[in-house]
Amino acid sequence: MSSVAVATLGRETPRGPDPYRRTLAQLSTAGAAVTSRGAGLDPLLVLAVVALVTGATAILRHGRVAVDARHVAAPALPQLPPVVGRPALATVSPPRRAVRLRVGETREFAVDAAGDELHYRWTVDEEPAGSGAAWTYAPGPEQIGRRRVAVAVMGPGGAIRQSWTVRVRPPEPPRIAGAFPAKARVESVAGDEIRLGLTAKAATPRERLRLTWTVDGRPAGKQESLTLRPNEPGTIVVRAVVASNLGAAASREWRINVVPASIPAPAAAPAAAPPAGASPPKPVASTPEHESLASVAPAPPGPDEQGVRGFLERYAAAWRAHDVDTLRRLVQVTTDEQARTLREYFAKVQDLDVEVHLVEVRADGERTVVRFTRRDRFRDPLGRVISKESPPIERTLVTTPEGFRFANAGG
């Protein structure tokens, strides 16, 4: 049975590079030789040798393929073409990244970029705002706060960006150039005509102003001046408000004290002539009682209320004008430390409006004691309008060659 198995293998195996075929040919030749010698051969042994040779051949072929695959060069990645035409910023204006600007003011932003076929896109808080290499920012009242102004310069090869942080502050209020009457307290007689007027100037060239009047809180017109003729005694409060289209405003207030008109005294009836033949009455002789009445000294004059009103008006005007030197002459402040603190306060508030209303004046020997209230209206650093009214303040005034002044600092 072994000879038959060996005889089935062809002896004329074609030559070639395949080691499997050469091995089979060699085994066939060896089998023929064994058969010719008539020696016995175990078929299981033959099959085991064939299986070992076949496995070794497969392992060698698989290893060679793996080595060849490992040495195959990796495909080259596609290379991007070099960037051509990307813009580059040369200069920017303003150079500082932090900018401050008031409503009503304008500021030009510009960039100088190098490149071909450039396009510019300006934005405010990511909202489109303009184009071109230069752009002017004119914020409105609705943009008060922090804003981000940015420009994107775009070319064929890409884009480059520049941004600024802009703090938009509230607008400057209109400036009151003139007002009449000049004093905030006005004395008038019932039936007399009172004329009031106010002129103001805008803080910016393109700003528009509107003037309105109120009398005791009721609208009284929009003209440049106001004429009143009160017939009843009492106090009338007249207020003029100058408002800007940018949202700022300034005001002036008058308090008119209307007194009743004087009633003329009735004429004295003429004395009756003495009857004919009667002698005229003799003058009454002076008596000690009459002499004592005539020697009574006249009452001392009352306090100078008009002078006190003028002093308080100067005091309020100095606060409105941030005039530390005048307040120092009035002895509102006396030391350098107090003056420095007052200047720091003036630097923090805006649109300061101070009104003083006299409550009482009385004499105290050579001094004058006054009681008044004070109302302050201003904008804080955040732009909020603050209004404060004080309780009655009592201060002592002394008379100097220059007029009244406070006896001591404070208040």
Distance CA 358, CA 230 (A): 22
Domain C-terminal end among 259, 284, 318: 259
23, 99: one domain: no
Q: With respect to residue 76, please indicate whether it lies within any of the assigned structural domains.
A: no
Q: With respect to residue 139, please indicate whether it lies within any of the assigned structural domains.
A: yes
Instruction: Give bridge partners of residue 179 from the DSSP assignment.
Output: 198
User: What CATH code is carried by the domain that includes residue 158?
Assistant: 2.60.40.10
126, 143: one domain: yes
Domain C-terminal end among 113, 134, 169: 169
**pLDDT given at position 214:** 93
Q: With respect to residue 241, please indicate whether it lies within any of the assigned structural domains.
A: yes
Return averaged pLDDT per consecutive 10 residues of the chain, 411 residues in all. Answer: 44 52 55 46 71 70 50 48 69 93 92 89 93 92 93 90 94 89 88 90 87 91 88 90 88 90 52 52 50 45 76 88 88 86 88 88 85 88 84 88 80 55
42: left (phi over 0), alpha (psi -120 to 50) or beta: beta
310, 388: one domain: yes
**pLDDT given at position 146:** 94
Instruction: Give bridge partners of residue 371 from the DSSP assignment.
Output: 360, 394
Contact 250, 174 (CB under 8 A): yes
394, 318: one domain: yes
**pLDDT given at position 28:** 53
Q: With respect to residue 77, please indicate whether it lies within any of the assigned structural domains.
A: no
Residue 203 domain boundaries? 175-259
336, 370: one domain: yes
**pLDDT given at position 37:** 45
Per DSSP, the residues of 279-337 read: PPPPPPPP-HHHHHHHTPPPPPP---HHHHHHHHHHHHHHHHTT-HHHHHHTTS--SHH
**pLDDT given at position 360:** 87
92, 59: one domain: no
Q: Quick one: how many helices (H) and strands (E) in the chain?
A: 7, 21
| Domain count across the chain | 4
With 0-12 / 13-18 / 19 or more C-beta atoms within 10 angstroms meaning exposed / middle / buried, residue 285 is: exposed
359, 329: one domain: yes
Q: With respect to residue 187, please indicate whether it lies within any of the assigned structural domains.
A: yes
Give the gyration radius of the chain's Cα atoms: 55
Distance CA 78, CA 75 (A): 9
151, 194: one domain: no
**pLDDT given at position 166:** 95
143, 200: one domain: no
Q: With respect to residue 323, please indicate whether it lies within any of the assigned structural domains.
A: yes
Taking the whole predicted model, whether its pTM rises above 0.85 is answered as: no
CA angle 26/31/36 to nearest 5° reads 130
Closest CA to 322 of 279, 354, 296, 289: 354
120, 52: one domain: no
Q: With respect to residue 26, please indicate whether it lies within any of the assigned structural domains.
A: yes
Q: With respect to residue 290, please indicate whether it lies within any of the assigned structural domains.
A: no
163, 180: one domain: no
162, 184: one domain: no
